[in-house]
């Protein structure tokens, strides 16, 4: 099934990539580009998954433990979410894969009838557990419940993910903290990630209804990224993820890595940049040709009383809002903005759970509305103008961060002065 094609070798010309069709089809995923930006690498597409036909580019809110922060599934749908993300580490621990096998998967368990994506559990292990140790076999760790030694292998990760039944599963990858300085560590990780991908592919019991995405590694080293790209693309997956970023690295290093990856990844398959969620980052990455994103940010910041707006966030705890009877955003059509005022939210924020729900709902709706605007502008081929307007509104007095200017310039978008 996995064949290395000429078009996926590093150094393949852009022209050759353009000659490849703008659609692809796998047993559990079909992808078709609907429109492309005439300047940048942005494109808008339709990705059909077993549970839902998803419009790209899109943002996936994170529902870690099989729930999205106090929101009913119909509220999440009302906010226009298409795919939500579940965490394999958390769900595999509790309620565990046996329950999912008995219940017929997470969709039924949480009553979500659109698409689901699960990560592999690897990242959580490394970031949450003190004694996680990575070996060739897998990730060795101590159970936080009884202290016993456990091992998360590629096979085990896929077994849990098969039980959860998400439309898209992520491979277990050897993820290194991006701020690590040791080149050799990244090199090992790049090669190991491919070996683990092969084990994941083999372990997948449901290739007909569950997609498995490889993850591109290599840290911030272009040569390692190219090696990882070449190897992973050779496996001919339904889609690919760019991993190992959004871990606190400098933005100046972040965007060129994304740019490199999207240059090499097949055009006719979805590209997923993991862990990206800030509005500016989303817009830039879309310009760089990314289709899918996830981040805890919108739901997490809601817990602290922050609502997302076009030029950042407002913290409703601030006294400024005590007598502000406007909704969070007059342009927003979410049920929070249609019914609640900033002044009321100010009285309950961080005090009552209802405030958390209302802000989570708005923040998810905000992200969805942003992605819809991006998609619409690409369809009308005015994405470049959209970006210029967006950045001008976001950065007062046009004090754009240099990385934003550079990243957009690399794809022929010039910001207003």
Partner 1 sequence: MKFAIEYISKGGGRIGRLTGLQSQPGAVHETPMVLVSTVGGSAPHLTQDVLHLVVDKDAPLHVPAQHFCDHVQVLQNYKKGVAHFSALQGHSVCVSVQDAAKATPQGYNHKKGVSLWTYGGRQIITADKYMDLMEAMQPDWYEALNDADPGIGSSKKRILNSTTSSMEYLKQCITLHKASQKLKGSALFAPLLGGRSEKARNGWSKSLMSTTVDKSAISGYTIVGLHTNGPEVEDLQPVNVSNIVKASLEPLAAELPRQTAGMWNPLTVLQLAHLGVDIFDSTFPFLVTERRGALTFPFRLNRRQNDGAYSKGSCLEHQNKKLKVSEDSPKAKAEEEVPRQDNKIRESEDEELSSPYEINMKNKSNVSLMKPLLEGCECYTCKNFTRAYVHHLTIANELLAPVLLMMHNLHHWMDFFSSIREAIKTDRLEDLQTLITTSVFESNEV
Q: By the 8 A CB rule, do 374 and 367 touch?
A: no
What the block records as the tokens of 86 is 């579940």
Q: By CB under 8 A, tell whether 332 contacts partner 1.
A: no
Query: Residue 195: CB partners within 8 Å, gap ≥ 6?
Result: 136
The conformation of residue 136, written as its DSSP 8-state character, comes to S
- Residue closer to partner 1 (CB basis): 350 or 414: 350
| Cβ-contact 359, 367 below 8 angstroms | no
296: its two tokens? 């805890």
Cα atoms found within 13 Å of the Cα of residue 351, Cβ hemisphere only: 8
- Least distance to partner 1 from the beta carbon of 316, Å? 13
Q: Which of 38, 353, 398, 414 binds partner 1 (CB under 8 A)?
A: 353
Report the distance separating Cα 311 and Cα 392, nearest Å: 9
Among 41, 43, 51, 69, binds partner 1 (CB under 8 A): 69
Inter-residue contact 87 to 119 (CB < 8 Å): yes
Binding status of residue 394 toward partner 1 by CB under 8 A: no
**289 marked as binding residue:** no
Task: In whole angstroms, give the CA distance from residue 272 to residue 159.
Answer: 22
Active-site residue identified among 174, 236, 281, 294 = 294
Q: Who contacts 409 (Cβ-Cβ below 8 Å, separation ≥6)?
A: none
Catalytic residue among 119, 167, 281, 291: 119
- Residue 130 assigned as binding residue: no
Residue 262 in contact with partner 1, rule: CB under 8 A: no
Task: By CB under 8 A, tell whether 326 contacts partner 1.
Answer: no
Cβ at position 20, least distance to partner 1 in Å: 44
User: Catalytic: 182?
Assistant: no
Q: What is the DSSP string of 154-183?
A: HHHHHHHHHHHT-SEEEPP-----TT---H
Active site residue 294: yes
Q: What's the rounded Cα separation, in Å, for the pair 414 and 387?
A: 9
Is the Cβ of residue 103 or residue 394 nearer to partner 1 in the bound state? 103
In the shown chain, the binding pattern of residues 89 to 128 toward partner 1, with x for contact by CB under 8 A and - for none, equals: -x---xx---x--xx-----xxx-----------------
Alpha helical stretches, state H, 41-137: 73-78, 88-91, 97-103, 106-110, 122-128
Q: Which helix (H) or strand (E) holds 359?
A: helix 353-379
Minimum gap (Å) between residue 308 Cβ and partner 1: 18
Q: Which part of the chain contacts partner 1 (CB under 8 A), choosing from 59-67, 248-256, 269-277, 282-290? A: 59-67
Cβ at position 295, least distance to partner 1 in Å = 19
Residue 221: which H helix or E strand, with range? none
Tokens of 194: 């491919």
Cβ closer to partner 1: 5 or 339? 339
Q: Looking at beta carbons only, is 7 or 348 nearer to partner 1?
A: 348
Q: Which is nearer to partner 1, 340 or 400 (CB)?
A: 340
Interaction of residue 81 with partner 1, rule CB under 8 A? no
- 318 makes contact with partner 1 (CB under 8 A): no
In this structure, what DSSP letter does residue 22 have?
S
362 labelled ligand-binding: yes
Q: Is 171 annotated as a binding residue?
A: no
Task: Please report, in range form, the residues annotated as the binding site for Zn(2+).
Answer: 332, 334, 337, 362
Where on the chain is the footprint of partner 1 (CB under 8 A)?
65-72, 75, 90, 94-95, 99, 102-103, 109-111, 322-323, 325, 335-336, 339-341, 343-344, 347-348, 351-354, 356-358, 361
**Which residues are identified as catalytic?**
119, 294
């Amino acid at each position: 099934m996995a064949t290395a094609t000429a078009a996926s070798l590093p150094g393949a010309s852009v022209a050759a990539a353009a000659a490849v069709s703008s659609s692809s089809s796998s047993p559990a995923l079909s992808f078709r580009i609907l429109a492309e930006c005439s300047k940048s690498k942005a494109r808008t597409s339709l990705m059909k998954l077993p549970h839902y036909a998803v419009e790209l580019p899109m943002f996936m809110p994170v529902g870690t433990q099989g729930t999205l922060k106090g929101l009913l599934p119909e509220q999440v749908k009302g906010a226009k979410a298409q795919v939500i993300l579940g965490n394999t580490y958390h769900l595999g621990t509790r309620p565990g894969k046996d329950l999912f096998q008995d219940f017929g998967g997470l969709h039924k368990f949480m009553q979500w009838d659109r698409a689901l994506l699960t990560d592999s559990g690897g990242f959580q292990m490394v970031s949450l557990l003190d004694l996680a140790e990575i070996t060739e076999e897998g990730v060795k760790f101590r159970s936080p419940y009884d202290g016993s030694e456990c091992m998360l292998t590629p096979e085990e990760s896929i077994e849990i993910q098969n039980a959860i039944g998400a439309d898209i599963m992520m491979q277990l990858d050897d993820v290194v903290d991006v701020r690590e300085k040791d080149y050799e560590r990244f090199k090992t990780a790049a090669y190991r990630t491919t070996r683990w991908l092969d084990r994941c592919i083999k372990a997948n019991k449901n290739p007909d209804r569950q997609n498995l995405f490889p993850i591109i590694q290599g840290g911030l080293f272009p040569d390692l990224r190219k090696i990882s790209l070449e190897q992973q693309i050779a496996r001919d997956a339904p889609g690919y993820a760019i991993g190992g970023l959004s871990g606190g690295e400098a933005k100046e290093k972040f965007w060129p890595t994304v740019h490199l990856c999207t240059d090499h990844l097949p055009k006719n398959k979805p590209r997923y940049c993991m862990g990206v969620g800030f509005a500016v980052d989303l817009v830039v990455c879309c310009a760089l040709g990314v289709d899918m994103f996830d981040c805890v940010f919108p739901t997490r910041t809601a817990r602290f009383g922050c609502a997302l707006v076009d030029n950042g966030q407002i913290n409703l705890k601030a006294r400024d809002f005590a007598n502000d009877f406007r909704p969070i955003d007059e342009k927003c059509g979410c049920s929070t903005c249609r019914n609640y005022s900033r002044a009321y939210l100010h009285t309950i924020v961080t005090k009552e759970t209802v405030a958390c729900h209302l802000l989570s709902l708005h923040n998810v709706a905000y992200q969805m509305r942003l992605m819809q605007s991006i998609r619409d502008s690409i369809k009308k081929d005015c994405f470049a103008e959209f970006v210029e307007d967006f950045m001008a509104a976001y950065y007062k007095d046009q004090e754009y961060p240099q990385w934003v200017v550079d990243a957009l310039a690399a794809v022929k978008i010039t910001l207003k002065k």
